[in-house]
Chain A
Amino acid sequence: MSSKTLTFVLMDPPYESENLTTAFRLLDIAARRGYDINVFAYEGASALAFTRQAPHPNPVHGKNVAEENHPTTKDQVAALLAEAKKNGGKVDWVSCGMCVDERGVNELVPGTRRGSPADLHALVEACDNLLAIPTK
């Protein structure tokens, strides 16, 4: 049974910085420990759960799609949800609705949802701790 609820605010878009790698490493640990996790994916981060992301081959590496096995953040989001569930926790992944709409990335990983700043306020009020990882 989870005893803690952690809220993360992410802002970076996929494929642009190392911030998200750090965030996913932390989220993975939290999910393995069975914590309840809230994520508010704001601005560019609203594209993290976009389901139409597709891996690609890498001609510079000389690798086809399978060999390159290019990561997609939508797969990482789906894996996070599954890992939390396996360990008795849950993930409330909220993608900022306006951010999603302006980017046209409104097809989201099942189990995640659209939301607003009011949802972030509720997540912050309900959590034990908050980590915001802003875009720099």
Chain B
Amino acid sequence: MAKKTLNIVESAYRAVMEEQDDTVLWLLAAMQAAGADHTVVLRGNAVNYAVAGQGAPGLTVGEWKQTQAPRMDRDVADLVENRKIRVLVVEEDLTERGIARGELVPGVKVVSRKTLPKLFAEHALVSHW
């Protein structure tokens, strides 16, 4: 039985263009495939990962073009739908940024900051990224 791990993801949009994904969410997805038991909490600027319909144009340098630019909403949906990773989003951080619940990808759950201590207690490990 894998250790239940709560992953609080706060760093956002760090090298996502060069890596074509978020390196932490990627790592958690890969570990889940290896048998890990992860839950993700998006907080701070990372709550924006859950906003549907986002995406930046790929980088172009002269004749060189990036064809697989990252889509963070797609990656969050993949965690929920295919990896069976529970993804929670901190409500207060959404509110501070003017993001409405209706803008989020289906399947993510909005939680209050006040519920975080209870979540900590429910998990064997807590990682802050």
| A contacts, CB < 8 Å to B | 14-18, 20-21, 24-25, 27-28, 31-32, 58-61, 63, 67-71, 73, 75-76, 78-80, 82-83, 86
Contacts and interface: CB of A to CB of B under 8 A. Distances in A.
Contacts of A21: 17-18, 59
A79 B14 contact: no
Interface residues of B, number: 22
Given A18-B13, A59-B30, A73 B62 contact: no
Contacts of B15: 15-18
A58 B27 CA distance: 11
Nearest to B67: A69
Nearest to A80: B61
B59 A18 contact: no
Contacts of A20: 18
B63 A17 contact: no
B5 interface: no
A80 B68 contact: no
Contacts, number: 71
A25 B14 contact: no
B59 A24 contact: yes
A70 B62 contact: no
Interface string B12-35: 011111111100001001100100
Nearest to A59: B30
Contacts of B112: none
B46 to A, nearest CB: 14
Given A78-B64, A80-B62, 11 more contacts: A15-B15, A15-B18, A17-B14, A17-B15, A18-B14, A21-B18, A21-B59, A58-B21, A71-B20, A79-B63, A80-B61
B95 interface: no
Contacts of B61: 24, 27-28, 31, 76, 79-80, 83
A45 to B, nearest CB: 13
Contacts of B17: 18, 21, 71
Contacts of B66: 69, 71
